[in-house]
Amino acid sequence: MLDPKRIRHEEESIRQGLLNRYFGVDLLETFKIKDKAWRNALQELEQLKHQQHEQTPKGKPSEEILSKLKELSETIKEKQAIVNALELEVEEVALYLPNIPDISVPLGKSDMDNQVIYEWGDLPHFTFSPKSHDEIGESLNIFNFEKASQLSGSRFSLSMGLGAKLERCLGQFMLESHSEKGYVEVAPPVLVNSQSLRGTGQLPKFSDDLFKLESSDFWLSPTSEVQLTNVYANSILTIEALPIKLTAFTQNFRKEAGSYGKDMKGLIRLHQFPKVELVQFVHPDHSFQALEELCGHAEFILKALNLPYRKVLLCSGDMGFSSAKTYDLEVWMPSQGKYREISSCSNFLDFQARRAMIRFKFEGKPYFVHTLNGSGLAVGRTVAAILENYQQPNGKVLIPDVLKPYMGVDSIG
């Protein structure tokens, strides 16, 4: 959530930031109207309380004074209810306002305007036409999308044998790598409540892309960013505790409405998908440095697996709702002849911390931390990238060297 004081005192920069996101400013105007009404009502309430204080006698009051004080007390109670209601209205509007892009974010409307920072690794050269990962997986009998569809419907996968093992080993390798870099491993629940989703920005705006359990306040988590960030919701940390780094390997759930084409097949866009998540809580002065570090931790996995990728800085119109700056890491997919997103690393500044009330204390005063998160990595997409980049003419798939001790085999097939 944006700082209301910033909205009031930096209205033009907030307006321009929203326009840079192609978000529009209607909601900003609504916020201004409701915020003014709330502040006016609050001022009237304070005046009434001051009046009550001034009229309260030091000695024994007369019946007439008692009657007036009682009437004034009722008026104050009614005005307090109005102030509380208006404050909730202001907060509800603020929950729909996105974060403002950092000055270093390039202006643009879509992914066509994103900036490639650099490319890493040599693209594989094949003496044959490379197959897609879903074709490879089904021919090796390590995927069975038909059975998954019978069990749950479309956009689900069923991994078997060395396919299931590859997924598990990748998760273990990623967790161990990140733990060596100072992340604390967490095994969180996959059901989260509405308050947790509001804290990270998924609610109220993106409820249509989430799975909710009927007649409850439980939702299937769309990303363990939700659980990891909310570990410290409503907390005041010590400055000495920062930075805090958490990681988790979880199943995640999204409706993926609107995706189509090649994404309808394989492991790219599923309703349920495994992912290793990275979350950091840092001092506000260090969050952009931390973003480069966190992105580097995700890149370390791609380099260790020797998967060609590129680092992309997202433009203002392509960033997520809560982010102030985002890098995407895109891995090379030979069957498509292009790079596809495998990690998104973002700095949210104090946007999530305000919603979740995550603060630290410095010289006796509380300040909001800055939060960051990124995939380290999306495990299903990493499986897909390995199958495509390591496929052989005889139909086998080689195992990346770093995974051989985990897998116990040199190849699949």
Tokens at 169, concatenated: 């080993």
Q: How far apart are CA 132 and CA 31, in angstroms?
A: 49
Q: Is 225 a catalytic residue?
A: no
Q: How far apart are CA 287 and CA 283, in angstroms?
A: 7
Q: Is 381 a catalytic residue?
A: yes
* Number of residues assigned to the chain: 413
Q: What is the dihedral of CA 316, 319, 323, 327, to 10 degrees?
A: -100
Catalytic residue among 155, 198, 254, 354: 254
Q: Is 344 a catalytic residue?
A: yes
Catalytic residue among 159, 343, 344, 375: 344
Angle between the N-to-C axes of helices 162-180 and 287-304, in degrees from 0 to 180, rounded to the nearest 10:
140
Are the C-beta atoms of residues 337 and 363 closer than 8 Å to each other? no
Q: Is 46 a catalytic residue?
A: no
Phi then psi for 191, rounded to 5 degrees?
-95, 130
Q: How far apart are CA 253 and CA 257, in angstroms?
A: 12
Tokens at 160, concatenated: 């078997």
Give the pairing of strands 184-185 and 115-120.
unpaired
The number of C-alpha atoms within 13 Å of 390 and in the hemisphere containing its C-beta is 21
Q: How far apart are CA 76 and CA 48, in angstroms?
A: 6
Catalytic residue among 8, 11, 341, 411: 341
Catalytic residue annotation: 254, 269, 341, 344, 381
